[in-house]
Amino acid sequence: MDRIKIVGGHKLEGVIPISGAKNAALPLMIASLLTGDRLTLKNVPNLADVNLLARILRNHGVDHSIEGKRASPTPHLGETFHLTARDIVDTTAPYEMVSRMRASFWVLGPILARMGQARVSLPGGCAIGTRPVDLHLTGLKALGAEIDIDGGYVVAKAAHGRLRGGRVVFPKVSVGATHNVLLAAALAKGETVIENAAREPEIGDVANCLVKMGAHIEGIGTSTLRIQGRDSLEGAVHTVLPDRIETGTFAFAVAATGGNVLLEGARAGLLETALAALEQTGAVVTQEADGIRVRRNGSGVDPITIETQPFPGFPTDLQAQLMALMATARGTSVIRETIFENRFMHVQELARLGADIQLHGDTATIRGVKHLKGAPVMATDLRASVSLVIAGLVADGETTVNRVYHLDRGFERLEEKLSRCGARIERISAG
């Protein structure tokens, strides 16, 4: 297994190109199941999760090609995918696939909407809590799905062969359940209203793509989505929006190490709460024509009290990275995780580097220390592993991050992007 070796203590200076958003690219690729025409997606990041989903979709009959050669000459513009689901040849998404990536569960809604039936394994994904799918199923039932659980699979049928519009009121905000129901509603008969929909920008990106494909959707960007389903949808060309989590991760890294970096292609409007938090810690953030600039001089990191919330609140996907930044703050920070109950696996690894963190239920209290010291650490999930990279960039001496396949799921060319800005970081291949 590959490892990442970091020698800490170097400021970041330069330009980091921001990739297309993984969490938008995945549901956008899944949207290709809704039409027999070609869906072209631009700015798709080259990530393990994206490649795995392409394989899963191929199983269902989606023809997938990548324009030009794999390594784009302008890598920050990502890749162009052509996806065509002329026929859905298999309505089953098997355990071996879905257990490796939770988002692949989202094929349920679109396949059910197009074919009138679907059989999808219950999901796996990052081990950051129980992560049930009850909201997905309740939502699809409101659109006329009849659902059984059989041998670890969700077996769904549309009453009378086709989903019909319905009213879905989510008791809790769920990104995945909103995607699943939104995608299904685009091909359901009549109007669907989703209340308490997730407002994450990636939902808006998918909704905008569905509009290009011919769906009528009102309320994009709000918590009430009103979708008029269509008998069929058309092909479209859509550009994946920039990754706000990658943006925030690098922004926090610059704040942690000091320095001055332009996050090229990043959009401040996608992560205002996170950038406001960063400014509170003493970093200077400016929106420029071609991206966001983050600077921190030698003045140290101020502590912060914050809790994670659904968008537009502080994202749970940046909680671990913020904690790495707070590890060397001048004072005590408090971070409360309200989205996932078990998303603190980075705490004991950060402690191996000398961080002083106490956990009480959903709340972490971080007493800033003067120095972290390099050590071998273990990546446990996608966002946790990148927090260890940030801590490693700050720590004195050498840090080795093991199990970096977690990082490869969601961060494109991480070592390259950081080393170009002066970080001493390299991948050590297993074999």
Phi, psi (deg, nearest 5) at residue 257: -90, -20
Widest CA span of the chain, in angstroms?
66
Q: Which of 136, 162, 230, 409 binds ligand UD1 (CB under 6 A)?
A: 136
Q: Based on the shown chain and the rule CB under 6 A, indicate whether residue 23 belongs to the binding site for ligand UD1.
A: yes
Q: Based on the shown chain and the rule CB under 6 A, indicate whether residue 129 belongs to the binding site for ligand UD1.
A: yes
- CB nearer to ligand UD1: give 361 or 431: 361
Q: Which of 1, 67, 86, 134 binds ligand UD1 (CB under 6 A)?
A: 134
Rounded Cα distance, 374 and 372, in Å: 7
Q: Based on the shown chain and the rule CB under 6 A, indicate whether residue 17 belongs to the binding site for ligand UD1.
A: no
Rounded Cα distance, 168 and 10, in Å: 50
- CB nearer to ligand UD1: give 6 or 50: 50
- CB nearer to ligand UD1: give 247 or 399: 247
How would you class 60 by CB atoms within 10 Å of its CB: exposed for 0-12, middle for 13-18, buried for 19 or more? buried
Coil, strand or helix at 323:
helix
Taking CB atoms, the residue at the shortest distance from ligand UD1 is: 176
Q: Which of 175, 241, 350, 355 binds ligand UD1 (CB under 6 A)?
A: 175
Minimum Å distance from CB 431 to ligand UD1? Answer: 30
- By CB under 6 A, which span of 155-163, 170-178, 262-270, 419-427 interacts with ligand UD1? 170-178
**Spatial contact of 231 and 190, defined as CB atoms under 8 Å apart:** no
**Spatial contact of 274 and 245, defined as CB atoms under 8 Å apart:** no
Catalytic residue among 126, 133, 283, 375: 126
Q: Which of 177, 294, 322, 326 binds ligand UD1 (CB under 6 A)?
A: 177
Q: Based on the shown chain and the rule CB under 6 A, indicate whether residue 184 belongs to the binding site for ligand UD1.
A: no
The string of DSSP letters for 277-297 reads HHHHTT-EEEEETTEEEEEE-
**Spatial contact of 345 and 374, defined as CB atoms under 8 Å apart:** no
Rg of the chain taking only CA atoms, in angstroms:
21
Rounded Cα distance, 91 and 108, in Å: 9
Phi, psi (deg, nearest 5) at residue 343: -95, 55
Q: Which of 250, 252, 314, 340 binds ligand UD1 (CB under 6 A)?
A: 340
CA 60 to chain centre: 23
- For the question of residue 421 being annotated catalytic, the response is no
Q: Based on the shown chain and the rule CB under 6 A, indicate whether residue 31 belongs to the binding site for ligand UD1.
A: no
Q: Based on the shown chain and the rule CB under 6 A, indicate whether residue 316 belongs to the binding site for ligand UD1.
A: yes
By annotation, the residues acting in catalysis are: 126
Residues that bind ligand UD1 (CB under 6 A): 23, 26, 102-103, 129-136, 172, 174-177, 316-317, 339-340
